[in-house]
Amino acid sequence: MGAKANRLDEALQVAETALLPLVAVLMTASLFCVFRVVPDEVTMGAVQRIFYFHVPSAWVAFLGFFVVFAASILYLATRRLLWDTVAHAAAELGVLFCAIVLVTGPIWARPVWGTWWTWEARLTTTLVLELVFVAYLVLRTQAESRLQAARLAAVMGIVGFLDVPLIYFSVKIWRGHHPIVFKSSGGEGLEPVMLKTFMLCMLTFTVLFLLLLALRIRVGLLDESLAELREREPSAGA
C-alpha cells in the first residue's frame, strides 16, 4: 500500500470510529421513538411504523445510486481507481437498501392495501432500479480486468442513473393516477411527533449509510492491495 493509500485508509478508520458510536446512539433513539414514543396511526395502525424504516431506506438507496453516478463520472474524468472503489461500494449499498425497500413495502401493503404487490409507479420504479443496479454488479464480476471493470461499470453507472427519471416517468404514464395516496411518506400532514421521529430516522439511516460506505470502501482498498501483492508474488495467492 502506498503512502497515499495509507493516509486514506487511516482517514477512513477515523471516520468509522467516529460514526460507529453515533450510529449506535441514533439507532437506539430511533427504535425507542418508533416503538415507544410515536402513537399508532389512526387508520393503518401499528403497521404504519414500518414507514420509519421503509422511507429512509428508499432515500439511502437513491443516495447510493447518485453516488454511483457521481463517482463514475469522476472516475472517467480522473482515472483514479479510488472513485471506482467508491462507485462499487455505493452500488452494493444501493442494491442492499433497495432490497430492504422492496421487502418492507409489501409487508406494509398487505394489511393496508390488501395486496402484497401492486404495479404502482413508485414500487415499479424501485423494482426496475434494483434490476438495473444488480446488472451493474453482475457486469463488474464479468469483466476481464480491474481497469476494464472500472471503465465499463462507470459507463453503466452513468447510463443507469440517467435512466432513473425516464423510468419513473414512463411507469407513471403506464399506470396513470393511482387512486391510493401515500400520506405518511410525504411528511406533510404528519403529527409533529411523527414528523420528528421520521426526520430522526432519516438522519439515522443517512449516517448508517456513511458508515457502511466508509467500511465498504476500506474493504475495497484492502482487496486492491491484496491483488497487488498477489501480482508481485503469485505464490501468495495460492
CB closer to other proteins out of 150 and 194: 150
Q: How far apart, in whole angstroms, are the C-alpha atoms of residue 50 and residue 104?
A: 7
Question: Which amino acid is it at 180?
Answer: I
What is the DSSP code (8-state) at residue 30? H
Give the range of 20-28, 53-61, 150-158, 224-232 binding other proteins by CB under 8 A. 150-158
- Separation between Cα atoms, residue 112 and residue 126, nearest integer Å: 19
Question: In angstroms, what is the minimal distance from the CB of 137 to other proteins?
Answer: 10
According to CB under 8 A, which residues from 62 to 91 bind other proteins? 76
Q: Is 138 in the site for other proteins (CB under 8 A)?
A: yes
Cell 432515500 belongs to 59
Q: Which of 20, 70, 100, 152 binds other proteins (CB under 8 A)?
A: 152
Report the residue from 151, 178, 183, 196 that binds other proteins according to the rule CB under 8 A. Answer: 151
Encode burial over 152-173: b for 16+ CB neighbours within 10 A, e otherwise.
Answer: bbbebbbebbeebeebbeebbe
Closest distance between other proteins and the C-beta of residue 184, in Å?
27
Q: Which is nearer to other proteins, 15 or 99 (CB)?
A: 99
Q: How many residues bind other proteins (CB under 8 A)?
A: 28
Q: Name residues whose C-beta falls within 8 Å of residue 46's C-beta, 6 or more positions apart in sequence.
A: 40
- For other proteins, the binding residues in 166-225 under the rule CB under 8 A are 166-167, 169-171, 173-174
Contacting other proteins within 1-30 (CB under 8 A): none
Out of 14, 46, 131, 193, the only residue in the binding site for other proteins (CB under 8 A) is: 131
- Shortest distance, CB of residue 61 to other proteins, whole angstroms? 15
3-state helix/strand/coil string of 56-122: HHHHHHHHHHHHHHHHHHHHHHHCCHHHHHHHHHHHHHHHHHHHHHHHHHHHHHHHHHCCCCCCCHH
Min dist CB 212 to other proteins, Å, is 24
Least Cβ distance, residue 127 to other proteins (angstroms) = 9
Which amino acid would we find at residue 144? E
Could you give the CA distance from residue 208 to residue 60 in angstroms, rounded to a whole number?
9
Residues 6+ apart with CB under 8 A from 184: 41, 44, 48, 51, 190, 194
List residues near other proteins by CB under 8 A: 76, 128, 131-132, 135, 138-139, 142-144, 148, 151-152, 154-156, 158-160, 162-163, 166-167, 169-171, 173-174
